[in-house]
Amino acid sequence: MNVNRSWLIAFALVFALLGAVLLSLSLQREDNPAGTNPLASLANAIDHFDEFRDARLAAGTLRNVVLRDGRLVLGAEQQDRFPRTGRWTSEPVVAEFPFTELLPSWNPNCPPDTGLTMHVRVRDARDGEWSPWLYLGQWGRTRHDPTRVVEYHDGQVEIDVLVLRRPAGAYQVRVDFESYSFDPSATPALRKLAVVYSGQTTEGARRSPTTLPANWARDLPVPFFAQGDSHPAVKSEICSPTSLAMVLAYRGVRVDVLQNALAVYDREYDLFGNWGRAVARAGELGCDAHLARIRSMDEAKRRIAEGQPIIASIRFKKGEFPSHVMSETDGHLIVIRGFTPEGDAIVNDPASKQRGNGVVYRADELARAWFGAGGVAYLVGKSESSSR
């Protein structure tokens, strides 16, 4: 009888162990439906880019705001009021496909004592209801609104991107203008606003195949700056403004890295890495800049072939990016300045003064760290004073 009981106990233990293994495999499949390749789900990622400038800016609803020289500025009303205010609201934009993320960026210009504030709202793709207006950032001097809304039942703003729990089918953008100056000519200005919205499609992302030869290579002459050369209090936190300073220098706009960091610092979230504020800084300095999502190395190569460096937002755990100068990071910005004939990326990485200037990162490892984190990129174009 004791022998039988031992067999029963052994059988029960084996059965329990087998069940735990099967449960573990089931959970792994549920957590990672794409299998062992974390990038496989990106095959169905799809993005759309909308740009608002000139005619599209003027097409919205204007309240004490006028279009002047291709920029929206405060109108001549309210000269007897303090502060002077105005508002531009875009027309509703119907999306090309249902989206679950919305990433805006803008090119403002705000003289001292003036500022801009951005809100967005989205329309549910299923029931057609609009969300409340959601706060998505400010630039310059603006009043702090403690009642601002950053979350509702179907989504929330995660610092600089709106993430939805249910797909939306349309959106609107609203920009408020404020001037605290007694000089009637002092006005905040908006010359460009861009929106990237992202979703999923069963047909795969709409990407054009690369036309570059297989052994194509290019290395753009982007100057290198190391974040470690800055003030000890912030040097570990300023990869974004340091990367931005490199690309600004490439475009002919020289800025001090520390002053650049102070300009993009987000006082509301206490960080230097706000994507939208980095683009706004480039825009205020006269560059044509916007946020984008890049989903493939072919697309990145096309940008480099056009002479466009890419500031890429990456994230990775230990062991996922062996060729990187760091072992892991919760979030980091680098400048992709070129590609080798083998297809690996040539990078200015502000994290390392010794290795960061032109370090070569393996394409597959960079892809995991970049596309797996959303493929977010700052694209800083030509400045008004430079031909590059």
Per-residue pLDDT reduced to its tens digit, 326-339: 989 999 999 999 99
Instruction: Say whether pLDDT at 27 is over 90.
Output: no
Q: Considering the chain, what percentage of its residues have pLDDT values greater than 70?
A: 85
Confidence of residue 68 (pLDDT cuts 50, 70, 90): very high
Are 48 and 197 spatial neighbours (Cβ–Cβ below 8 Å)? yes
Instruction: Say whether pLDDT at 42 is over 50.
Output: yes
Residue for token digits 């609107």? Answer: 172
Identify the CATH number of the domain defined by range 218-383.
3.90.70.10
Identify the CATH number of the domain defined by range 44-200.
2.60.120
**Beta strand residue intervals within the chain, DSSP E:** 45-52, 61-63, 65-68, 71-74, 84-89, 93-109, 114-124, 134-140, 151-152, 155-158, 161-179, 189-200, 218-219, 287-293, 310-316, 329-339, 345-348, 357-361, 376-383
Instruction: Say whether pLDDT at 1 is over 60.
Output: no
Would you list the domain boundaries of the chain?
A: 44-200, 218-383
At residue 349, φ and ψ (nearest 5 deg) are -110, 110
pLDDT tens sequence across 2-24: 444 444 444 444 434 434 333 33
| Least confident piece of the model among 188-197, 207-216, 230-239 | 207-216
Of 165, 104, 167, 175, whose CA–CA distance to 140 is shortest? 175
At residue 323, φ and ψ (nearest 5 deg) are -80, -5
CA 343 to chain centroid: 24
Query: Residue 184: is the preceding peptide bond cis (ω within 30°)?
Result: no
C-alpha–C-alpha distance, residues 49 and 366, integer Å: 24
In the prediction, which pLDDT does 146 show? 82
C-alpha–C-alpha distance, residues 361 and 356, integer Å: 10
- CA gyration radius for the chain? 24
Confidence of residue 145 (pLDDT cuts 50, 70, 90): confident
What's the pTM? Answer: 0.86
Q: Which pair of tokens denotes residue 219? A: 């290395």
